[in-house]
Amino acid sequence: MVLYQSGDDRISSLKGSGYNQLNNADGTEYTEYTEYNPSTNTADDDCREHDQSIYAAALAGIESIGRSWLARALECSKPSQVWSKLEEGKFDSFSLKRGQPNDLAKLRYQVRKVDLTRLKARLESHQVGVTYVGAPDFPAKLVGDQQVPPVLFCKGSKELVRAGADVSSLAILDSLCHPMVSIIGTRNCSHYGRECAYQLGYDLSSCGVSVISGLAQGIDGAAHRGALDANQAFPIGVVASGLNLIYPSQSRDIWNLISERGILLSEYPLGAPAQKWHFPARNRIIAALSDVVIVVESRRAGGAMHTVNASTSRNIQVMAVPGSIRSPVSQGTNDLIYDGALMVRDATDVLVALGYSAHQINDTKVVSARDRVAQQTADATASGVTNGLNLQPGSNQLDLDTNTLTGKQTEVLQAIGYEPTLTSAILNRCHYIDIGEIHSLLYNLESLGFIRSGDGWWTRLF
């Protein structure tokens, strides 16, 4: 039996009798053709020959089917078998998202209207592969997970594709067998947080550790920029939309680089826009894939805490970067450390948490945070690049040359803490200076290298 929407040109090509014009409960018209013959219906013949991954992709696109039900179904049946049962209306052994649907004919229509040949061509045109629960290339870390995604869409480096296989058979297993660390945090991060995330991403990738994030702006993006610059381990992005819809659009460059050098994962079919509820669902996949989860900056109720909760429920190690007690974007991370999360000072702490031995860590040649600061100071001394700073002869310390600053410049600088400081706070502390003049002084101090600006934040560097 084949179902076609009213107006479909293929209806006129049907030979013989046996098709009727019907209506769904919502009034949508469709045609039911009851004389299906495998020997004459070449379109259905082609569908039966499709790779199992195409059936899995089609199942993921049926909105009436819930994830938990589909995962259970795929644990005991191949995607094509599940598809056939749905197509034939055999629901006796299945339970759908809201129990048995009120309109089984409508669900059957939703299944039968899917053009599998067209779906396969669309996946291939976007170079998107598909894996599913029970497939040999399904990530081992997700097998048996309490909230396993039944189907994963993937787009990645050609190095991850099996020799001789088409793009619908991405061998993602090989790319997901390294140590994997997720680096997450707030979108509205400070310069401190952005730099920490970048350095952690760079150092961990240099050591062969795959960096995972949700590709959001802020901490996620900075971590992956560092990992991409190191280019020593496959970066992994888990997103909340279909893989042909880049979200957020500002992450387009990172998105494209990861698809070239690493792998992008999504449980949502092509064309699915990012929805608000997709993000906490995505975060559970980030947590489940990770050996360690690092929170660089987060508010107490930040979205990163969804990933933390998903990690702790799976007994995955959570680590946090400490921040100023006055910084709102470090309240969440400082709370995590207070509650027992391991503190991250540099990549060495993460490697220890991953189980690296002292000998292995020495072999990686990761520079500790303290050694890096000393090296940067020595490099600045040797190069003579001062950026408004005075290099004291015979020392490796960089100090402010207060003689180069005017009185008002000094007052504005002193109003800025070493933690991110809101512009409104600076205005309050320097209320006796004209607002326009304060903005001019801030940009002047930034050009001299004393401070840096952010999204409404200012941070003192020295």
Dist CA 196 CA 200 (whole Å): 6
Four-CA torsion 338, 341, 344, 350, nearest 10 degrees: 170
Q: How far apart are the first and last CA of the chain?
A: 75
Burial class (CB in 10 A: 0-12, 13-18, 19+), 37: exposed
Give the per-residue pLDDT at 421: 84
Dist CA 186 CA 296 (whole Å): 8
Give the per-residue pLDDT at 6: 38
Give the E-state strand segments of 168-274 in sequence order.
180-184, 210-213, 236-238, 263-266
Q: Are residues 187 and 323 in the same domain?
A: yes
Give the per-residue pLDDT at 459: 83
Q: Is residue 157 part of a domain?
A: no
Q: Is residue 331 part of a domain?
A: yes
**Which tokens is 28 given?**
């949508």
Q: Is residue 106 part of a domain?
A: yes
- Domain of residue 200, CATH code: 3.40.50.450
Q: Are residues 194 and 286 in the same domain?
A: yes
Dist CA 365 CA 207 (whole Å): 9
**Residue 85 pLDDT more than 60?**
yes
Q: Are residues 210 and 295 in the same domain?
A: yes
Q: Are residues 109 and 212 in the same domain?
A: no
**Which tokens is 340 given?**
């027992």
Last residue of a domain, one of 122, 139, 169: 122
Single-letter amino acid code for the residue at 427: L
**Which tokens is 51 given?**
């790779």
Dist CA 199 CA 294 (whole Å): 13
**Residue 371 pLDDT more than 70?**
no
What is the domain range of residue 340?
A: 178-240+275-366
User: How many structural domains comprise the chain?
Assistant: 3
Q: Is residue 101 part of a domain?
A: yes
* Length of the chain as a residue count: 462
Sheet holding 29-33, edge to edge: 2-5, 29-33, 19-23
Q: Are residues 417 and 354 in the same domain?
A: no
Sheet holding 180-184, edge to edge: 129-132, 151-156, 263-266, 236-238, 210-213, 180-184, 292-295, 317-320, 342-343
Q: Are residues 287 and 230 in the same domain?
A: yes
Reported as a single tens digit per residue, the pLDDT across 255-290 is 999 999 999 999 999 999 999 999 999 999 999 999
**Residue 425 pLDDT more than 70?**
yes
Nearest CA to 296 among 226, 357, 359? 226
Average predicted confidence (pLDDT) for the chain: 78
**Angle separating helix axes 219-230 and 191-206, nearest 10 degrees:** 30
Q: Are residues 206 and 92 in the same domain?
A: no
Query: Do 263 and 155 contact (CB within 8 A), yes or no?
Result: yes
Q: Are residues 421 and 357 in the same domain?
A: no
Q: Are residues 104 and 201 in the same domain?
A: no
Nearest CA to 216 among 129, 130, 283? 283
Give the per-residue pLDDT at 38: 32
Last residue of a domain, one of 366, 384, 418: 366
Nearest CA to 264 among 384, 412, 375, 130? 130
Reported as a single tens digit per residue, the pLDDT across 26-58 is 444 444 433 333 333 333 444 444 689 999 999
**pLDDT greater at residue 17 or residue 354:** 354
Q: Is residue 302 part of a domain?
A: yes
Helix/strand/coil for 88 = coil
Rg (CA), the chain: 28
**Residue 345 pLDDT more than 70?**
yes
pLDDT band (50, 70, 90) for residue 449: confident
Q: Is residue 293 part of a domain?
A: yes
Q: Are residues 28 and 116 in the same domain?
A: yes
Residues 6+ away with beta carbon under 8 Å from 405: 413
Dist CA 406 CA 409 (whole Å): 5
Q: Which residues of 119-139 are buried (b: 16+ CB within 10 A; e: fewer)?
A: bbebbeebbbbbbbbbbebbb
Q: Are residues 102 and 14 in the same domain?
A: yes
Q: Are residues 410 and 356 in the same domain?
A: no
Q: Is residue 264 part of a domain?
A: no
Nearest CA to 233 among 351, 370, 151? 351
Helix/strand/coil for 116 = helix
Q: Is residue 387 part of a domain?
A: no
Looking at residue 432, what DSSP letter applies?
Answer: T
Nearest CA to 432 among 411, 402, 456, 461? 411
Sole residue written with tokens 């644990």: 75
- Domain of residue 417, CATH code: 1.10.10.10
